[in-house]
Chain A
Amino acid sequence: MAEEKKKRITDIGPPHYEKFLPPIIKENYGKWKYHEVLKPGVMVHVSESGAKLFTVRAGSPRLLSIEKIRKYADLADKYCGGYLRFTSRNNVEFLLSDEMKIEPLIKDLQALGHPVGGIANSISSIVHTQGWVHCHSAATDASGVVKSVMDELIEYFTDTKLPAKLRIALACCLNMCGAVHCSDIAILGIHRRPPKVKRDKLKAMCEIPSVVSACPTAAIKPATYEGQPSVEVIEERCMFCANCYTVCPAMPLNDPLNDGVSIWVGGKVSNARSEPMFSKLAIPFLPNNPPRWPEVVDAVKNLVEVWAQNARPYERMGEWINRIGWPRFFQLTGIPFQKEHIDDFKHAGLTFKRSAHLTY
């Protein structure tokens, strides 16, 4: 008799989260009463029962080797009974029931090169995409820009001296895998050259009707090339979204001469005080200048510091700008206002100033 083949397991979903909850959380699930921030990167949650859960949050590059994850696991064993979690912004959190272990844990994390912070009025880790590490449509790298910006702004991660929290996000193209469009500061990779049609490859690689219909501005039309069906790009209609490239590899937009970075400000997702808002264009274009992107770092630092100096307590970037007005924003930040700042896509008129409410 042949050995029975092991049954292939599918559709089991993730393990149930209860398996990974520390006992103190199981005991106090849904019973938390309040929390306090004890110091940068450290908070305590207090339960109705009086139980206290201490959280220590550390920054991470998101791209982690298995060696580093094993070191996190060792720290979890040493300090937290083997439990830990990650946050929606890629930080790692250690959950302690013993207050005395906080300081030794922080020392160990710092020795490992992971700063503690990112809670309350601070910059938390920058949510970001793959960039040149792993993406085909990236107009800039992600990890390198993030590393360069955070190296410069580290004091705002490890301290809580900002007027409010500040959320920075980076997406390396308009697909925005990181959904950066509602961030206090968004760093967005952009293309600026229309796709170059690879006419010899297009027919074999792509469906022409889906390429034509992929374009939001109807800039792509069917054409014939050497007797073969192909497409043609009406270049003045192209706004470089790369949707055609997503459906057709024979329409590349990536181009070192024209690709770069744009900076957007004033978005938020929280409902606190004001409603959620999209980020708005602050700087249309900055060059890709690896390995440290100095122009991008300077621009982001300037935005953070001008806001920090001028905003009132609790005022997020967008709320501050809404109070002072965009003319004052451009004046205070020293960013030149230019044609590209004025919307010309659908419903652009709604973004024009339609009153005489101005400051002089």
Chain B
Amino acid sequence: MAEEKRKTPKLDELEKGAWPSFVKEIKSAAEKNPMANDLLGQLERSYEEKIGHWKHGGIVGVLGYGGGVIGRYSDLPEEFPNVSHFHTIRINQPAGWFYTSDVLRKLCDIWERHGSGLTNMHGSTGDMIFLGTKTDELEPTFSELTELGFDLGGSGSDVRTPSCCCGKARCEWACYDTMALTYFLTMHYQDELHRPAFPYKWKFKMSGCPNDCVASVARADMSIIGTWRDDIQIDKKAVTEYAESGLNIQRDVVGNCPSKCMEWDGKELKIDNKACVKCMHCINAMPKALAPGKDRGACILIGAKAPIVEGALLSSVLVPFIKLEPPYNELIDLVDKIHEVWSENGKNRERVGEFIQRVGMGNFLEAIGVEPVPEMVAHPRENPYVFYEEYFEEDDEGSGEQEEDK
């Protein structure tokens, strides 16, 4: 390319140091790509002025989809014409983020032909991100992606791209098949994923065990966290080996048990499984000796979100335990019912967690047809401000204890 390379004295400082440098990545793309070169120039300007130079997103996308592309425009288009439009494309990742070298090369070739040559592997939601291209390139990029068997991810008020941990592919703690469920939900909700029709975004995140490697409890509207109901599996010989190898089982394992359900007499480890809260600590500390039980499934929690609008929320228990096996009918019925109630009654830009806060969990449960159970609360209410919906009048027929059968 004949384009003159942008001068970037401030960014050049970030080529130094032991951690891999994003500036080197952008410069590597800028060797051949004028968009990446202008990105460097505009970013250097931000480093000088301590302010971003991107305008608010506009509505851009591919035909028939409402999500998957984030519009982005420079506020200095005359100085940096090659990033005057610089839209992001979200591409739905394969579950668990597994790839072959062959498919990665083909994806790179597509992005070399149509965009900046820059990516995020991956974005926060889980999608593969193609970072920056012009409006005219969106449809050709999409066409080549679908030829290769890939599709766009979600954005806006839709089902966002579901994501999960690697689950049974490489983890002994996976209590259900996270990748299978993620693929199933992604395919089942294709229409809801590509065509925003909800009050706000809806995120599914699947973690195979209570370690929650995809942070579902912090950020998913529906957090599906693997757990088990029976006894922790113990390999006594391996416990002895851990003790002999110097692990302080009393202090580091038993002493850290939140439910105080373990005893160690120097020879044998005993677990009161009825009291165990499935926190994973002892299993994490002794993976060769302990394992989740055999009656495995998941706990479904609802409502997590980051602060905007009304404050951050963690998900809370909705279904204490569910077996998660195909065809997943029970789960789909539950999700559809929640979507129906939330779509009908949620306000614009109200996540389901905020919706529940506004209408009350009790009312929400009633609307979706789920019975309240004590597992849903840290403790019952502390205030006496109970909203009873009906009351008796003196002259009501059947007031008092007696009510006629109907």
Contact B143–A15 (Cβ < 8 Å): no
Query: Count of B residues near A, CB < 8 Å?
Result: 125
Which chain A positions have C-beta within 8 A of B101? 72-74, 76-77, 82-84
Contact B287–A63 (Cβ < 8 Å): no
Which chain A positions have C-beta within 8 A of B251? 313
Which chain A positions have C-beta within 8 A of B52? 131-132, 135-138, 254
- Is residue B96 contacting chain A, with contact meaning CB distance below 8 A? yes
Which chain A positions have C-beta within 8 A of B186? 13-14
- Is residue A97 contacting chain B, with contact meaning CB distance below 8 A? no
Contact B54–A62 (Cβ < 8 Å): no
Contact flags (1/0) for B294-319 with A, using CB distance below 8 Å?
00000000000011111110100000
Which chain A positions have C-beta within 8 A of B284? 272
The distance in angstroms between the C-alpha atoms of A66 and B119, with both chains bound, is 7
Shortest beta-carbon distance from A42 to chain B in Å = 14
The distance in angstroms between the C-alpha atoms of A270 and B88, with both chains bound, is 31
Contact B170–A243 (Cβ < 8 Å): no
Contact A95–B170 (Cβ < 8 Å): yes
Contact B256–A314 (Cβ < 8 Å): yes
Decide: A290 near B100, CB < 8 A? Known: A66-B111, A113-B24, A178-B124.
no
The distance in angstroms between the C-alpha atoms of A249 and B55, with both chains bound, is 8
Question: Which candidate, B273-281, B322-330, B362-370, B386-394, is the interface stretch facing chain A?
Answer: B273-281
- From A8, A11, A147, B21 is in contact (CB under 8 Å) with A147
Contact B307–A176 (Cβ < 8 Å): yes
Residues in A61-103 with C-beta less than 8 Å from chain B: 61-70, 72-74, 76-77, 82-88, 90, 92, 95
- Is residue A219 contacting chain B, with contact meaning CB distance below 8 A? no
Contact A34–B291 (Cβ < 8 Å): yes
Shortest beta-carbon distance from A143 to chain B in Å = 4
Contact B211–A272 (Cβ < 8 Å): yes
Contact A36–B121 (Cβ < 8 Å): no
- From B22, B190, B218, B307, A63 is in contact (CB under 8 Å) with B22
Decide: A67 near B28, CB < 8 A? Known: A9-B146, A9-B147.
yes
Which chain A positions have C-beta within 8 A of B341? none
B39, B122, B225: most-surrounded residue (chain A CB, <10 A): B122
Residues in A2-36 with C-beta less than 8 Å from chain B: 8-17, 19-21, 25, 29-30, 32-36
Contact A66–B22 (Cβ < 8 Å): no
Contact A270–B29 (Cβ < 8 Å): no
Contact B20–A61 (Cβ < 8 Å): yes
Contact A147–B97 (Cβ < 8 Å): no
Which chain A positions have C-beta within 8 A of B108? 66, 69-70, 73
Contact A179–B88 (Cβ < 8 Å): no
Contact A292–B151 (Cβ < 8 Å): no
- Is residue B224 contacting chain A, with contact meaning CB distance below 8 A? no
Which chain A positions have C-beta within 8 A of B338? none
B92, B170, B225, B310: most-surrounded residue (chain A CB, <10 A): B170
Contact A69–B146 (Cβ < 8 Å): no
- Is residue A150 contacting chain B, with contact meaning CB distance below 8 A? yes
A64, A171, A181: most-surrounded residue (chain B CB, <10 A): A64
Contact A72–B104 (Cβ < 8 Å): yes
Contact B54–A90 (Cβ < 8 Å): no
The distance in angstroms between the C-alpha atoms of A289 and B28, with both chains bound, is 25
Which chain B positions have C-beta within 8 A of A129? 124
Contact flags (1/0) for B1-31 with A, using CB distance below 8 Å?
0000000001101101111111111101100
The distance in angstroms between the C-alpha atoms of A275 and B63, with both chains bound, is 45
The distance in angstroms between the C-alpha atoms of A82 and B287, with both chains bound, is 29
- From B18, B56, B103, A249 is in contact (CB under 8 Å) with B56
Which chain B positions have C-beta within 8 A of A137? 52
Which chain A positions have C-beta within 8 A of B85? none
- Is residue B99 contacting chain A, with contact meaning CB distance below 8 A? yes
- From B177, B210, B211, B287, A30 is in contact (CB under 8 Å) with B177
Contact B165–A88 (Cβ < 8 Å): yes
- From A82, A92, A127, B102 is in contact (CB under 8 Å) with A82
Question: Which candidate, A52-60, A220-228, A300-308, A330-338, is the interface stretch facing chain B?
Answer: A52-60
Contact B169–A136 (Cβ < 8 Å): no
Contact A154–B19 (Cβ < 8 Å): yes
The distance in angstroms between the C-alpha atoms of A233 and B186, with both chains bound, is 42
Which chain A positions have C-beta within 8 A of B216? 269
- Is residue A327 contacting chain B, with contact meaning CB distance below 8 A? no
Q: CB-nearest residue of chain A relative to B149?
A: A15
Shortest beta-carbon distance from A336 to chain B in Å = 24
Which chain A positions have C-beta within 8 A of B118? 63-66
Which chain A positions have C-beta within 8 A of B59? none
- Is residue B84 contacting chain A, with contact meaning CB distance below 8 A? no
Query: Count of A residues near B, CB < 8 Å?
Result: 116
Shortest beta-carbon distance from B171 to chain A in Å = 6
- From B29, B55, B56, B291, A65 is in contact (CB under 8 Å) with B29
- From A10, A21, A30, A63, B120 is in contact (CB under 8 Å) with A63
- Is residue B346 contacting chain A, with contact meaning CB distance below 8 A? no
Contact A147–B256 (Cβ < 8 Å): no
The distance in angstroms between the C-alpha atoms of A214 and B214, with both chains bound, is 29
- From A67, A74, A135, A174, B308 is in contact (CB under 8 Å) with A174
Contact B169–A86 (Cβ < 8 Å): no
Contact B100–A20 (Cβ < 8 Å): yes
The distance in angstroms between the C-alpha atoms of A110 and B185, with both chains bound, is 38
- Is residue B356 contacting chain A, with contact meaning CB distance below 8 A? no
Contact flags (1/0) for B51-63 with A, using CB distance below 8 Å?
1111111000001
The distance in angstroms between the C-alpha atoms of A270 and B211, with both chains bound, is 4
- From A59, A69, A70, A147, B121 is in contact (CB under 8 Å) with A69
Residues of A within 8 A of B (CB): 8-17, 19-21, 25, 29-30, 32-36, 45, 53, 55, 59-70, 72-74, 76-77, 82-88, 90, 92, 95, 113-115, 127, 129, 131-138, 141, 143-144, 146-148, 150-151, 154, 157, 171, 174-182, 210, 213-214, 216, 241-243, 245-247, 249, 254-256, 259, 267, 269-274, 276, 278, 288, 290-292, 313-314, 345-346
Given contacts A16-B94, A20-B94, A66-B112, 20 further A-B contacts (CB under 8 A): A10-B146, A13-B92, A19-B103, A25-B169, A32-B168, A63-B120, A66-B118, A69-B121, A73-B105, A83-B100, A85-B97, A88-B163, A131-B52, A141-B46, A141-B47, A144-B14, A177-B306, A269-B212, A273-B258, A313-B251
Residues of B within 8 A of A (CB): 10-11, 13-14, 16-26, 28-29, 36, 39, 43, 46-47, 49-57, 63-65, 72, 86, 88, 92-105, 107-108, 111-112, 117-124, 126, 131-132, 143, 146-147, 149-151, 163, 165-166, 168-172, 174, 177, 179, 183, 186-187, 190-191, 194, 210-219, 225, 251-252, 256-258, 277-281, 284-285, 287-288, 291, 306-312, 314, 348-349
What are 24 A-B pairs with beta-carbon distances under 8 A? A8-B143, A9-B147, A14-B93, A14-B183, A17-B169, A20-B99, A30-B174, A32-B168, A35-B171, A61-B20, A64-B121, A65-B25, A65-B117, A84-B99, A114-B20, A132-B53, A179-B124, A179-B215, A182-B215, A259-B51, A269-B212, A272-B280, A291-B10, A314-B281
